[in-house]
């Protein structure tokens, strides 16, 4: 297994129109779709990113940091702070899948489509 073969397998799966150019430039055969290389490129990259992130963490974070986060979560709000009630709901949006909601003005088409061919 070589890096170009892993990349070729990834390109074959997600960008098939670019595969011929890549295998020609890399001087490798086309990947066999019936016998994929495992683990794939995405798995290897994901494992590497996880390893790098783990190595960057301060060793004290694993114990003291987690305890600090737990204490923050369990801390109660002062009496003068009150959370507001729900002002508006949006169907199919929950706290689980909500990343960001922003209001924007989008341009709209204003032309007559009855004469279009």
Cβ neighbours, 10 Å, residue 14: 11
| pLDDT tens sequence across 38-80 | 888 888 888 888 877 777 765 555 666 677 777 877 878 777 7
Average pLDDT rounded to a whole number, residues 73-101:
70
Cα 11 to Cα 3: distance, rounded to the nearest angstrom: 12
Percent of the chain clearing pLDDT 90 (strictly above): 14
> What are the C-alpha distances in Å from 48 to residues 7, 53, 55, 59?
16, 9, 11, 19
Write down the mean pLDDT value for the chain.
Answer: 78
């Amino acid at each position: 297994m070589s890096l170009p073969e892993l990349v070729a397998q990834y390109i074959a799966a997600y960008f098939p129109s670019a595969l011929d150019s890549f295998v020609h430039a890399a001087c490798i055969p086309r990947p066999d779709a019936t016998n994929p290389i495992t683990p794939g490129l995405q798995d290897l990259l994901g494992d590497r990113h996880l390893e790098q992130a783990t190595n960057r963490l301060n060793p004290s974070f694993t114990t003291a940091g987690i305890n600090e986060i737990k204490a923050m979560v369990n801390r109660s709000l002062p009496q003068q702070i009150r959370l507001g009630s729900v002002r508006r709901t949006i169907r199919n949006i929950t706290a689980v899948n909500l990343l960001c909601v922003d209001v924007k003005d989008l341009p709209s088409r204003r032309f007559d489509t009855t004469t279009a061919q």
